[in-house]
Amino acid sequence: MLDPHTFAWIFGSVICFVALYYLVLPFKNQRVSFEHASNYLDNSITTTAGECRSSESKAKDVDIIIVGAGVAGAALAHTLGKDGRRVHVIERDLSEPDRIVGELLQPGGYLKLVELGLQDCVEDIDAQRVFGYALFKDGKDIRLAYPLEKFHADVSGRSFHNGRFIQRMREKATSLLSVRLEQGTVTSLLEEKGAIRGVRYKNKDGLELTAYAPLTIVCDGCFSNLRRSLCNPKVDVPSCFVGLVLENCNLPYANHGHVILADPSPILFYPISSTEIRCLVDVPGQKVPSISNGEMEKYLKTVVAPQIPPELYDAFVAAVDNGNIRTMPNKSMPAAPYPTPGALLLGDAFNMRHPLTGGGMTVALSDIVVLRDLLSPLRDLHDAPTLCRYLESFYTLRKPVASTINTLAGALYKVFCASPDQARKEMCQACFDYLSLGGFFSKGPVSLLSGLNPRPLSLVLHFFAVAIYGVGRLLLPFPSPKRIWIGARLISGASGIIFPIIKAEGVRQMFLPAIVPSFYRAPPIEVINKK
């Protein structure tokens, strides 16, 4: 009779054979070697922190308005400015952001950063290299390394203070004379005859102003107040993160992210500088224990602390006693845009996923690469309806990468959360044991997690391989009616986790983008040739 490992090996071989043709066909821009990406490097001059160099162009001469200068907005401004576009960026607050998320850039995201010529933005900010993950469950742990063998030695994940990274990106963008960065709050989009012509905003002095451009790109983050005009937002808040910073301690595995499969939900640790470790405690639901009345401190010390590795216990308790506890809702929102002439959504304003896997910046940077390539041949952007029809291909071309990362984040979070249901417990244990097998069984999922090989079908195959592996564990060596029933519920539960996420992402766009008409949409000739 087959043991679970042999069963999993046979099943893995079968699914590899079935999926071979699909998996070897690269989607456009999904895997970029460091050598290829280095062709995009530039020699831009970096300005001092906080300096914003304005273009001498008048507002009417602006090609593109970007709302927001976070990771997506700043990276996009530099990318478009380097391509010769005149860009006006309007950001609500130009001081250094202080956030507890957006601090881990996966290797796939770093490759996109290199392709955009922004890899030096992770330098001189005490960023830490990340080479994989460590997974902890019930006193056991496994190390999962990123599959970096085929890449340049500089390619790895990076973790850092989010604010430092964003400030470096802003400096990089404003080093270009064609980029103007202004502090102001955009209050509304200017619409005329069904097309967006610009924005209305208040500058830092409180004056109400208008800015016009043939294309406005909204990148104002997860709390966007403009997205309702451009999409159908269905925002879900499955949990909240409670953030702390640990000092004077070392992680069990240096230069690795750590995921503790705790009760009721995961706990994350990763370095953000040479002396600091970020801890993110996931709390299910939209409410967290009160910080002001001491409930949060009690929860962290009595519920969370006993479940973390001993090496981090003292530093964790000290961080709780220090009192610098931050919270942030974890939002999930599928991309559901209204194609709108003159406007486009990008970043968290457009698409969000649970931050458990740290995939948000990878999706945003990948989207910018796709958008840059689409806009590159266009000389004029003033024909809004024609441009809108052409840019519908953006929503299709981005899907394989974005939907894979989004689906993985949502599915893993549900699998890793504790549950009284025995079938869900078996699924979580099966996932841990499956990854522990190593080789194909760990390299494939980690390739997906890292953004190095984001293939939708590969994700689905590995997900159900975990489920079938879990069933095999239940049925071997002797099946019983109870075990068969739990196994059936395990498969049903796995389907109930992943299929709704896939449906929300879009089945055709995710798995068969080539059958979507906009996939083949070429740049309009009249716009290419127009001077």
CA 62 from centre of chain = 30
Task: Identify the pLDDT of residue 207.
Answer: 96
Task: Identify the pLDDT of residue 24.
Answer: 38
- Indicate whether 226 and 87 sit together in one domain: yes
Q: Tell me the average pLDDT across 111-140.
A: 97
- Of 290, 312, 331, the residue that ends a domain is 331
Buried b (16+ CB within 10 A) or exposed e, 108-136: bbbbbbbbbbbbebbeebebbbbbbbbbb
Domain assignment present for 13: no
- Indicate whether 324 and 362 sit together in one domain: no
Give the CA distances from residue 199 to residues 59, 90, 157, 203, 500, in Å, rounded to whole numbers and listed in that order.
11, 10, 36, 12, 36
- Indicate whether 372 and 300 sit together in one domain: no
CA quadruple 232, 237, 238, 244: dihedral, nearest 10: 140
Tell me the pLDDT band of 519, cut-offs 50, 70 and 90.
confident
Q: Tell me the average pLDDT across 138-166.
A: 96
Tell me the pLDDT band of 19, cut-offs 50, 70 and 90.
very low
Percent of the chain having pLDDT more than 70?
A: 87
CB 194 within 8 A of CB 341: yes
The overall average pLDDT reported for the chain is 89
- Indicate whether 179 and 251 sit together in one domain: no
Residue range 179-213, pLDDT digits in tens: 999 999 999 999 998 999 999 999 999 999 999 99
Domain assignment present for 465: no
CB 504 within 8 A of CB 409: no
CB 365 within 8 A of CB 117: no
Q: Tell me the average pLDDT across 382-387.
A: 93
- Round the CA-based radius of gyration of the chain to a whole number and report it: 24
Q: What is the CATH number of the domain that holds 75?
A: 3.50.50.60
User: Is 90 exceeded by the pLDDT of residue 4?
Assistant: no
Token output for 63: 């090609």
- Indicate whether 217 and 357 sit together in one domain: yes
List, in sequence order, the alpha helices (H) in 287-328. 295-299, 310-322
User: Is 60 exceeded by the pLDDT of residue 396?
Assistant: yes
Residue range 475-513, pLDDT digits in tens: 988 899 999 999 999 999 999 999 999 999 999 999 988
Task: Identify the pLDDT of residue 515.
Answer: 85
- Indicate whether 261 and 318 sit together in one domain: yes
Task: Identify the pLDDT of residue 51.
Answer: 36
Task: Identify the pLDDT of residue 529.
Answer: 58
Residue range 257-282, pLDDT digits in tens: 999 999 999 999 999 999 999 999 99
Cα distance between residue 82 and residue 179, in whole Å: 9
Q: Tell me the average pLDDT across 21-48.
A: 37
Domain assignment present for 371: yes
Tell me the pLDDT band of 365, cut-offs 50, 70 and 90.
very high
Q: Rounded to two decimals, what is the model's pTM?
A: 0.88
Domain assignment present for 205: yes
Question: 300: Cβ–Cβ under 8 A, 6 or more apart, which residues?
Answer: 242, 244, 281, 316, 320, 325
Tell me the pLDDT band of 514, cut-offs 50, 70 and 90.
confident
Cα distance between residue 504 and residue 498, in whole Å: 10
- Of 291, 310, 331, the residue that ends a domain is 331
93: containing domain: 64-125+160-235+334-382
- Indicate whether 226 and 194 sit together in one domain: yes
Least confident of 33-47, 131-145, 213-227, 499-513: 33-47
496, burial (CB in 10 Å: exposed 0-12, middle 13-18, buried 19+): exposed
Give the CA distances from residue 518 to residues 22, 373, 398, 471, in Å, rounded to whole numbers and listed in that order.
21, 15, 12, 41
Domain assignment present for 368: yes
Task: Identify the pLDDT of residue 526.
Answer: 61
Task: Identify the pLDDT of residue 478.
Answer: 86
Residue range 275-301, pLDDT digits in tens: 999 999 999 999 999 999 999 999 999
- Of 272, 304, 331, the residue that ends a domain is 331
- Number of domains observed in the structure of the chain: 2
Residue type, 311: E
Domain assignment present for 255: yes
Domain assignment present for 344: yes
- Indicate whether 166 and 308 sit together in one domain: no
Task: Identify the pLDDT of residue 3.
Answer: 55
- Indicate whether 79 and 107 sit together in one domain: yes
- Indicate whether 345 and 321 sit together in one domain: no
Q: What is the CATH number of the domain that holds 319?
A: 3.30.70
- Indicate whether 327 and 338 sit together in one domain: no
Q: Tell me the average pLDDT across 443-470.
A: 96
Q: Tell me the average pLDDT across 315-342.
A: 95
Task: Identify the pLDDT of residue 528.
Answer: 63
Domain assignment present for 512: no
- Indicate whether 249 and 168 sit together in one domain: no
> Which residue did the predictor score with more confidence, 530 or 472?
472
User: Is 70 exceeded by the pLDDT of residue 22?
Assistant: no
